Structure formats: structure tokens, C-alpha cells
Amino acid sequence: MVVNEYLDIFIEESKEHIQSLNDHLLELEKDPKNITIVNEIFRSAHTLKGMSATMGYQDLADLTHNMENVLDAVRNKKLTLNSQIVDVIFTVVDALESMVFDIIDGGEGKQDVSELVNKLDAIENGDQNIDSQTKKADKSSGKTSSIESELDQFELTVLQQSNEKGYQNYQVTVQLQDTTLLKAARVYMVFEILEQIGEVIKSVPSVTELEDENFEFDFTVVLVTKDGPDEIEQKIMKVSEINSVTVNELKVNQFTGGDAEEAQDTVKAAEETSEDHEETTSKRPLTSKTIRVNIERLDALMNLFEELVTDRGRLEQISADLRHNDLEETVERMARISGDLQNIILNMRMVPINQVFNRFPRMVRQLSRELNKEINLEIIGADTELDRTVIDEIGDPLVHLIRNALDHGIETPEVRKASGKPGTGTLKLNAYHSGNHVFIEISDDGAGINRDVITKKAIENGLITKEQAQSYSNHQVYQLIMESGFSTADKISDVSGRGVGLDVVKSTIEALGGSITIDSELGKGSVFSIQLPLTLTIISVMLTKVKDETFAIPLSSILETAIIHKDKIMTAHNKQVIDFRGRVVPLVSLTEIFDVPGDDQDDNYHSVVIIRQGEKMTGLIVDSFIGQQEVVLKTLGNYLSNVFAISGATILGDGQVALIVDTSALIK
């Protein structure tokens, strides 16, 4: 079987469907009566089932199939949703997810699903006998080609409703060739086509029976569509091994009637379905305008572009040396165009942060149960876009911070009520762009950080002295909880561990070129805000000269540059410091730190780059400033992975390598 080429698509789409299952289940939990949501879930489950059956992942298909049955019962009002059912469906979705991940890891996607299947069966059957009755009815009339008598009230209303909205109802009978081997596959293909042109309201035999190949060679469906009968026929005939297609118009007016209340109910539901339908049709042209591109190709494009940026730098240098008018003009134009090109390429690699955020609702739901807390999660700015490389890295730190907020931040309902707050705590995730950065804020309305507890712990652990504790600002104190070996939870819990972790969060974020700050008010809550660069590969730097060597300092960490007379340099405890806008800022000489060989120049003036990280500042003494430039960040390779105060390298316009200074290592 030539399955492999479809495997990628299968995996991608399964992930999407599982995500949509998760999202909609959460919505459904809040609004259990909403049939539209059930329909959405059903649709995802159905597609997932079809795909996994086609790909031969039987366990996956079985489980989805049973889930679909339950959902179908809910959809047709034969089953009322309760939290127990939702819980079971959640576990099913979890199981589906783990199977899909197994497939991603090269596994077979096999898992023992019998327990879950039984649970689902129990839910399905434990219900009223209407369910089994209809089933019987379905089976007994499996071969009849007249479908009208089988339409129930709900389906009739849908048909009527769609008729009024200008859709046509057809009864489509498809006859497969007697020699057809993979009947289910053909049925699946036919249904794919039918779902593209409209909506299948009913099928005889039922979809389940069709997929189990539990039919002869023909089947009939009721289709709601805007297409004409000929078009439908032509489209279906494109599927091979089909003998004939008969399309008849279906009039439904005469079938309506029955209980008034029920009718009203179904009308509402029908409205929702048809609205839903319109929505999907209007969305379709949008999706056809995107294509999936392998990330490796984008990476290759990026690499090529990096080479171009390097050559652009070189060209700029040459034209500046030659001072030829036409050349300068052309180079300038090229620089502008490649700037635009860079924006486009970077944008292509942008992914909405929703990819990370979307797993949090589930996580928060589960954690709040484990912790017996009531938590309302608010997500703002899920469509904020970030470079893929950043997205891949930021997930774990965020998980950690959220766990931390749930565990240590938000109190139990009793405690909250006692302090006059609503029993339900709020956790807010907010992502937004600002300048060349993306900010992610995680705020809770919990207990806040107790300064005294932190300082006491920090003194106990020997992180700071008593004197330091008193002189520290609140911000400095809060930063302490991200030092390694620090834990404030009196009780070690499974949820957020023992204080190993927040320091890892901090270092991960810093490794990404970002920073994290904490703000808190006792009794009101805390805010953890993360600042991240939009992209990691092309950065703006300030090139500086130290004797004969060139060092690049990332612009993002530079506060400003200054020229300082040597008389202005003071010493404090044998360290050089300057008074910079009213603050005492320590000075570090790059010549000394990097041990740069060559003769010392004795200048009266020093060029200083003031760098900043959070609240802390340091002045770096260099010999001269060369200027600002966009450069491509490169690593020093695997061999030199651990060089002090150097975060990478870049290739300059003249082909030489310049080292990029890791400013965070120089700030203490």
C-alpha cells in the first residue's frame, strides 16, 4: 500500500481534529444544550474515523466510531449530556491523542481501547430504549430504496428549513459495481464528494453499516445542496467502480406535523444546523487559498536568504568604498527589496501562539480538579504570531508558569471566599506584539507573592544576606523565586514540583533572547510577563571595535551608548562604576573580559555601551562603535558549545566572523 505519502496529511489533520474535539468539548461543557457544538464534535469525530479507517488504524477507528455513536445519540436528543458523559468523552479524546502521537513516533497507533469502548457502549445503551428501537428500524429496512418513511421529525424539519433557504433536497441512490472490493472506501469517497457539495441528512443503510460494508451494492442518501441533480450525478460518477447514480428531488412538505413543542425545538436546532452549513460554505474559498509547506523548505529558504543578507552587507560596503552613484542607488534599492523579502520570509515562518495556548484549557480544567480549585481561564490574543522556532521552545516554560499560578497563586474556594474574593479564581493569558517583541503575560488573581516569606527563604538558603534583603526592591525580591534551588511551597506537590523549574523557565526564556519579570500585589495576585524576540535568526546588533577585534552586541539589550571622560569613572570596592543618569552602573572592560591582545590605548574618553537586563544595567567599555547592522545569528558549532559571554557568531560583509556578546552573562 502506498500509505506513507498520505501519512503526513493524516497526522496533521488528525491533530487538527483532535484539537477541535478538545476545544468544542470544553465549549460543550459550558453549554451542554447547544446542538451546534455537538454537530461540530460529531463532524470532527466522523472525519477522524474515516481517515483512520482508510489508513488502517483500526483501534483509532473503533474508538472514534463508538464515540460517534454516543454523540449521534446526543445529537438526535436520545441522550442527555451530563458531566459524566463529557468526562468519558474527554478520556476517549485523550486516548485518541496518545494513539495519534504513537503514530507520529512511528508506532502502529495500537492501544487497548476495549475498556473505553465498553464505557461508551454503556452510555449509549444505558439510555432509553428509543435508541435500540430506531436501530432495529434502521436494520430491518436496510435495503429499501424509499427513504422518506424513515425520516424522523428532526430530519424533516431540517429538510423543510433548507428548502426555505433555497437549498434543494435530493434522494441520491448510488449503485456500486458488483466487482467492487473495497466497498467502504468507495462509500467514503462518495460521502467526501457529497459533503463537499452539501450536507447528508440521512443515509440508508446507516453510515455505520455502510462503513462496516454491511450492505449489498447500493445505498441511498438524502442530500441538501444548491447543486442541480446532473451536477451531483457527474461528481459522484467520478468515483470509480460506480455503476449508476440516481438523483430524485425530495419533497418534504407533506411529512411535517406532530407535537408542537417538539417541532419548535427542532426548528431551533435546524436553524442552527443550516446557519452552520452556511458558515462552512462561506469558509471554503478561504481555505483553498493556503497551502501546506514543509517546514524544512522554509528553513532552506531562510538559509539561502541569510546568505543573501551577508552578501548584501558586503555589497553595501563595496559601494560605500567606491562611491559610484549608480552602484550606490542600485545597492540601496536592493537593500530595500531584500528588506521586504526578509519580512515576507519571516512572516511565513510565523505561527499563531494559539498552537501553544490551545492545550492549556484542558490542562487547567484537569489541574483545577486535582487541586480542588475553581478556575476560569481567559485567553487573550491567541492569534498573536511568533516565529516557529520560538513557538517550539516556549511551550514548556508556559506550562510551568501556569502550573505554578494554579498551585501556588490561586487559593482554594474556601480561602478565597474567606478573604472576600469570588470563589472562582481567574487565570489570564495575554499575548500581544509590541515593537520587535512579543509579550506574554500570565496573571492570576490569587494570593500574590509574600515578600517576607521569599526573603526569609532566600536568607535560609543562603541566596542573600539579611542586609541585602532589606535593601532589595519588591521586584528584586520577586526575581529571587527564579533563582535555582528556591522553593516557596511549604508543601511539595505533584503539580509544580519543588522549586526546581522556575530557574529553568528563566534560563529557557533567556536562551531565547527574552526576559521574564514578575509583578505582584499581596492578596490581589501576580503577573508573570515574558518578553520574547519575534525571531531568532536575524537580529539587529551594534558592531563595536575592541582593539583589532569586532564584537557584536544585540541591540535588544542595549539601553544607550555614551562617551565618558575617564575622570568620570569612580571606583567602588575596587570595581569601576559610573554615575549614569543618577544610577550607579558598574563598568566592564571588554578588553579585559575577552583578554583581547594588543597595545592598550590611553584615551581620555571611553566609549561605553550601556546594556540592560530587567532592572540591572552594566556599562561595557569598547574602543569604538562601528554602527548598527542586521546580521544572521549563527552558532559556534557543536564543538564550541560552552563559551563564556559569547552567544554565537555572525559573518560580516567582508566575510570575517564576528562574535556576538552574550550580554546576560556580563550583568550581575
Rounded distance, CA 90 to CA 133, Å?
28
Among 157, 225, 649, 664, binds other proteins (CB under 8 A): 649
Q: Which range touches other proteins (CB under 8 A), out of 158-166, 477-485, 610-618, 638-646? A: 638-646
Residue 308 is a binding residue for other proteins (CB under 8 A) = no
Residue 483 is a binding residue for other proteins (CB under 8 A) = no
Report the DSSP pairing between strands 624-632 and 538-546. antiparallel
Rounded distance, CA 360 to CA 400, Å?
11
304/322 with CB nearer other proteins? 304
Among 59, 72, 155, 306, binds other proteins (CB under 8 A): 306
Give the per-residue contact string, 617-636, with other proteins (x = CB under 8 A; - = no): -----------------xxx
Among 596, 617, 626, 667, binds other proteins (CB under 8 A): 596
DSSP string over 439-489 = EEEEEE-S----HHHHHHHHHHTTSS-HHHHHH--HHHHHHGGGSTT----
Residue 393 is a binding residue for other proteins (CB under 8 A) = no
Segment (H or E) for 76: none
Interacting residues with other proteins between 531 and 590 (CB under 8 A): 549
DSSP type of residue 409:
I
Q: Are 244 and 233 in contact (CB under 8 A)?
A: no
The residues annotated with a catalytic role in the active site are 46, 68, 404
Cell of 125: 445503551
Q: Which range touches other proteins (CB under 8 A), out of 118-126, 239-247, 306-314, 509-517? A: 306-314
Residue 494 is a binding residue for other proteins (CB under 8 A) = no
Residue 599 is a binding residue for other proteins (CB under 8 A) = no
Segment (H or E) for 291: none
Q: Are 174 and 200 in contact (CB under 8 A)?
A: no
| Secondary structure class of 196 (helix, strand, coil) | helix
Residue 640 is a binding residue for other proteins (CB under 8 A) = yes
Shortest distance (Å) from residue 659 CB to other proteins? 7
Measured in residues, the chain has a length of 668
Residue 301 is a binding residue for other proteins (CB under 8 A) = no
63/633 with CB nearer other proteins? 633
Residue 593 is a binding residue for other proteins (CB under 8 A) = yes
Among 326, 340, 595, 600, binds other proteins (CB under 8 A): 595
Rounded distance, CA 152 to CA 271, Å?
16
Shortest distance (Å) from residue 580 CB to other proteins? 23
Residue 70 is a binding residue for other proteins (CB under 8 A) = no
496/591 with CB nearer other proteins? 591
477/666 with CB nearer other proteins? 666
Among 651, 653, 662, 664, binds other proteins (CB under 8 A): 651
Shortest distance (Å) from residue 587 CB to other proteins? 15
DSSP string over 6-71 = HHHHHHHHHHHHHHHHHHHHHHHHH-TT-HHHHHHHHHHHHHHHHHHHHHT-HHHHHHHHHHHHHH
Q: Which range touches other proteins (CB under 8 A), out of 215-223, 349-357, 466-474, 656-664? A: 656-664
Give the per-residue contact string, 310-339, with other proteins (x = CB under 8 A; - = no): x-----------------------------
Among 531, 637, 663, 664, binds other proteins (CB under 8 A): 637
Residue 646 is a binding residue for other proteins (CB under 8 A) = yes
> How crowded is residue 620: how many other Cβ atoms within 10 Å of its Cβ?
24
Q: Are 56 and 3 in contact (CB under 8 A)?
A: yes
Q: Are 104 and 11 in contact (CB under 8 A)?
A: yes
Among 6, 439, 594, 625, binds other proteins (CB under 8 A): 594
Q: Are 539 and 631 in contact (CB under 8 A)?
A: yes
Shortest distance (Å) from residue 640 CB to other proteins? 5
335/645 with CB nearer other proteins? 645
Cell of 390: 520560538
Among 108, 275, 307, 332, binds other proteins (CB under 8 A): 307
233/311 with CB nearer other proteins? 311
Q: Which range touches other proteins (CB under 8 A), out of 200-208, 259-267, 328-336, 643-651? A: 643-651
Cell of 15: 491533530
Among 176, 375, 509, 658, binds other proteins (CB under 8 A): 658
| Helix axis angle, 130-140 to 114-125, nearest 10° | 100
267/596 with CB nearer other proteins? 596
> How crowded is residue 353: how many other Cβ atoms within 10 Å of its Cβ?
25
Helices (H) and strands (E) in the chain, counts: 23, 22
Rounded distance, CA 485 to CA 500, Å?
6
Q: Which range touches other proteins (CB under 8 A), out of 37-45, 92-100, 357-365, 591-599? A: 591-599
Residue 659 is a binding residue for other proteins (CB under 8 A) = yes
Strands (E) in 534-615, as ranges, are: 538-546, 549-554, 558-565, 570-572, 575-580, 583-589, 605-613
Shortest distance (Å) from residue 286 CB to other proteins? 39
117/298 with CB nearer other proteins? 298
Cell of 387: 516565529
Question: How many residues contact other proteins, by CB under 8 A?
Answer: 28
Q: Are 252 and 197 in contact (CB under 8 A)?
A: no
Contact footprint for other proteins (CB under 8 A): 306-307, 310, 549, 593-597, 634-640, 642-646, 649, 651, 655-659
